[in-house]
Structure 1
Amino acid sequence: MSHEQLGITDEEIAAHTSPGRARLQLLVVGLGALVVSLAQSMLIPVLGELPEVLDTSTSAVGWLLTSTLLVAAVSVPIMGRLGDMFGKRLLLLVAIGSLLAGSLVAAVTSNVALLIAARAIQGASAAAIPLGISLLAGLLPRERVGSGVALISAMLGVGGALGLPLAGFVAEHADFHALFWIMAGASFVAFVGILMLVPESPDRSGGRVDVLGGVLLGAGLVCLMLPLSQSSDWGWGSAKVWILLAGAAVLLVVFGWTQTRVREPLVDLSALSRRPIVLANLASILFGFALFASFIGTAAYVEAPEATGYGFGSSLLVGGLAMLPSGLMMLVLAPVAARLISSRGGPQTLALGAVVVALGFLARITVHEHLWQVIVGSTIIGMGTGIGYAALPSIINAHTPPHELAAANGLNALFRSLGSSLASAIGTSLLAGSVVVLGEVALPSLTAYRELFALCGGASVLAALVALTIPHRAAA
């Protein structure tokens, strides 16, 4: 239901949301988005030490990431649709609450099974970012929507960049449980802030939940994402990989067939098939693919021994700090991106961000003799990421009715995640295919990294070309 159908005008919303209150709402929703993004990357630097700490296998520890990824893939589109139906603020609170609950469980246990379960609970929080974007798009005064949406969207990259140095610091000075206590504290503050300061969006469609569609979509996404996340362990020659991928294709086709035959579908395929939305989601896959190397190609790269021919033998903390300028630039450029979107349109802004990312990868390929050069290249990629992340939701919002915003942004986030998962599967195989052997340790070679950077740079160029074919329309 739209504002007009409810008898609420934009002027009344702006009057209700004073500048001071709008800043507070943006602050608490932004904090929620930041801690959700932190949760997705914070464990990566400490994974290597967890098998010994938890007295378990490396494959079991890998499920601390895989469980979060699988639940996130399922929850993002489903919770987005539920947010459109029953309230974006309500589902945003559910998402942040799941992060809080999962963090508290993980903070008090060293049992690997409970830790995996806790990380799975945390996975549902991934829906917070598209829900926050959609909620603020309907609540903030018109002149603040662009910068607000850009900031929340940028948090996806900012949290990833800030999580690495924070985890590196904790790894050197405290037990890994401290990471979960930090997440629990920050998510509690965000939850209370949203509960107290942010009203519910008036854009709610109501209706019945498509349970069958949810089950089919969830099963299809699990069958799709699981082999992509486990391909490095299982190998592309494993029957499990291809059986699951085939199962995903069947389940998603059946899901699409059911969506055309129910009165209130989980996914509006007619809206999803609109040309601007198709192109925006295609650009999101390519953009997500391109950004895969920005994390693994920086921290692990500078931490590698100098004997590899490229590394600097840095500590976990220094490896994480190498990503810090990248995250800060994403934050700084969010309002700049909002002004670009207002003056040039979302598609051109997205194309600009993708080109900047490609230039960053070009720098990483050609200039890498000194640590500062690697940091500069990573920062350029971060600049393009911040611009691109800000532009994607603006394109979706411009071509989507208000009562479908959360579902549309959730699906767009899912396509971005799919691109990263595809890049992870391909990139991991690429890095494993050309190695430098140091004693008993095999590390990716400089050639492998250059090939990965070239592949991701090419994906960003394709994303720019796709973006330029998207018709421009100002957001409602």
Structure 2
Amino acid sequence: MVLGFSSLCAALMQSLVIPLQPELPQLLDTPASNAAWVVTATLLAGGVAMPVAGRLADIYGRKPILVASAVIMLAGSIICALYSTIGPVLIGRILQGFAMGYIPVAISFVREVTPPAMRNSAVAGISATLGVGGALGLPIAAWIAQAFDWHMLFWLSAVLAAAMTVLSFLFLPQISPIDRGRFDFLGAVGLAVGIVGVLTGVSKGNDWGWTAPSTLISIIGGLVVLIGWGFFEAHHTHPLVDLRTTIRRPILLTNIAALLIGFGMMAQSIVVPQLLQMPESTGYGLGQTMLQAGLWMAPGGLMMLAFTPISSRLLSTLGGRSTLVLGALVIAAGYVFAVFLAGAPWMLMIATCIACAGVGIGYAAMPTLILENSPPPRQVPVSASMRSCARWEQPRQVP
């Protein structure tokens, strides 16, 4: 319960400021190009934090890293709540992104403390929070932004972070570290530089231009750094990520599937709000307000959560691979529905619910697939982190 609640709170950070984005330049007294980093910075920080948190959990234990992630989220939330200028708010959003390291460590924690009969359900529930948090965060944030001062968003996240910290500290059992090796600082820096480079180029490509030197340098430079990082990690005594484990065929294919299903989730979370909010005069827009659009999308997040116990039964009956395939087919069915029936908000809501149900099924299957293929115990947190990182690292262009 503690891990599920806390993982959901951490996942809410990804969509916390999306409803505010059109007003951010005015609220922060900064150009729109600078204000966009308030969203992008959290994406970048989350992509870096997940594998790093997994490795730190190997060395120092799961509980200290979970508590530290919650404290970092609390600090970031308070900074954002107290300031109205771009610099402090950007720092706060980066810290909130680092809190995303909570989720993959929580998944590995569940494997250690949950009885085998309940393991599939517990892992599926925590894994689903990454999608559920993003889906539910949009209407919640839209309502708060319209009804109160925008700083109230961050005071709410501060309260949630404080609850995460207290609950994690008091109720999670202490588990001994499984690897007392050294932390690979150089590997962490290399991974951070590579991920930030690639994701910055992809996230800002529309603004900078896809053929602009800044975009190409960012993407190509990031890829070069990641290639060099891979060679370095392969020959390191205590690597940040054991690439020999990560590139094993079942785990590699699962991570690729995570990336593709993540694209499926992000596509609907980007396109559907735009269709809902565009004026009816366009011929395809549905003329909804920001809050109405968020409410139409909220059932998708609830559907993802509702399918957690169903996914657990599917895993027990079909196994991880067949469940993952079924999830992908359900996502495809949701998009096919939207192609032919998108003339009213309720139609898009149904399509979103179908797609989100597929995402929930697929996300539940992925950690089970990795655990079924038995990575070395010391690499379970890192394996979970890399899968979560693959899901997280989608190019998120928000309307």
TM-score by length of 1: 0.81
> In structure 2, what is the equivalent of residue 465 of structure 1?
none
Matches within 5 A, 1:45-56: 45-56=19-30
From 372, 379, 383, give the equivalent of 1:404: 379
Counterpart-to-counterpart distance in 1, 2:45 and 2:285: 35
Deviation at 1:250, TM superposition (A): 2.1
Counterpart-to-counterpart distance in 2, 1:203 and 1:332: 34
Unaligned 5+ segments in structure 2 are none
Percent identity over the alignment is: 37
Deviation at 1:312, TM superposition (A): 2.0
User: Is the CA contact 1:76–1:411 (under 8 Å) kept in the aligned structure 2?
Assistant: yes
Per-residue Cα deviation, 1:1-30 (whole angstroms, up to 9, x for no partner)? xxxxxxxxxxxxxxxxxxxxxxxxxx2111
Deviation at 1:203, TM superposition (A): 5.6
From 343, 352, 357, give the equivalent of 2:326: 352
From 33, 39, 44, give the equivalent of 1:59: 33
> In structure 2, what is the equivalent of residue 453 of structure 1?
none
Counterpart-to-counterpart distance in 2, 1:403 and 1:213: 17
| Pair 349,203 (structure 1): closer, same or farther in 2 beyond 3 Å | farther
Deviation at 1:233, TM superposition (A): 0.9
Matches within 5 A, 1:4-15: none
Question: What root-mean-square deviation, in Å, do the aligned CA atoms of Structure 1 and Structure 2 show?
Answer: 1.4
Task: Find out whether 1:244 has 2:218 as its counterpart.
Answer: yes
Radius of gyration: which is bigger? 1
> In structure 1, what is the equivalent of residue 186 of structure 2?
212
User: Is the CA contact 2:60–2:177 (under 8 Å) kept in the aligned structure 1?
Assistant: no
Give the residue type in structure 2 aligned to 1:404.
Q
Deviation at 1:413, TM superposition (A): 1.2
From 71, 90, 95, give the equivalent of 1:97: 71
Task: Find out whether 1:199 has 2:173 as its counterpart.
Answer: yes
Counterpart-to-counterpart distance in 2, 1:308 and 1:378: 22
Per-residue Cα deviation, 1:381-402 (whole angstroms, up to 9, x for no partner)? 1111111111111112222233
User: Is the CA contact 1:334–1:390 (under 8 Å) kept in the aligned structure 2?
Assistant: yes
Task: Find out whether 1:413 has 2:388 as its counterpart.
Answer: yes
Counterpart-to-counterpart distance in 2, 1:241 and 1:298: 27
Counterpart-to-counterpart distance in 2, 1:303 and 1:245: 32
> In structure 1, what is the equivalent of residue 343 of structure 2?
369
Counterpart-to-counterpart distance in 1, 2:142 and 2:235: 51
For 1:310, what is the secondary structure of its paired residue? coil
Per-residue Cα deviation, 1:261-314 (whole angstroms, up to 9, x for no partner)? 221111111111211011111111111122222212222221111111122211
Task: Find out whether 1:106 has 2:84 as its counterpart.
Answer: no
Task: Find out whether 1:221 has 2:216 as its counterpart.
Answer: no
Aligned length: 398
Which deviates more from structure 2 when the two are superposed, residues 103-112 or residues 45-54? 45-54
> In structure 1, what is the equivalent of residue 227 of structure 2?
253
Counterpart-to-counterpart distance in 2, 1:370 and 1:262: 56
Counterpart-to-counterpart distance in 1, 2:235 and 2:134: 40
> In structure 2, what is the equivalent of residue 75 of structure 1?
49
> In structure 2, what is the equivalent of residue 232 of structure 1?
206
User: Is the CA contact 2:259–2:391 (under 8 Å) kept in the aligned structure 1?
Assistant: yes
User: Is the CA contact 1:138–1:402 (under 8 Å) kept in the aligned structure 2?
Assistant: no
Counterpart-to-counterpart distance in 2, 1:184 and 1:92: 16
> In structure 2, what is the equivalent of residue 387 of structure 1?
361
> In structure 1, what is the equivalent of residue 256 of structure 2?
282
> In structure 2, what is the equivalent of residue 137 of structure 1?
111
Counterpart-to-counterpart distance in 1, 2:125 and 2:361: 10
Counterpart-to-counterpart distance in 1, 2:362 and 2:280: 34
> In structure 1, what is the equivalent of residue 268 of structure 2?
294
Counterpart-to-counterpart distance in 2, 1:41 and 1:350: 26
TM-score by length of 2: 0.96
Give the residue type in structure 1 aligned to 2:120.
G
Counterpart-to-counterpart distance in 2, 1:377 and 1:109: 39
Counterpart-to-counterpart distance in 2, 1:289 and 1:316: 23
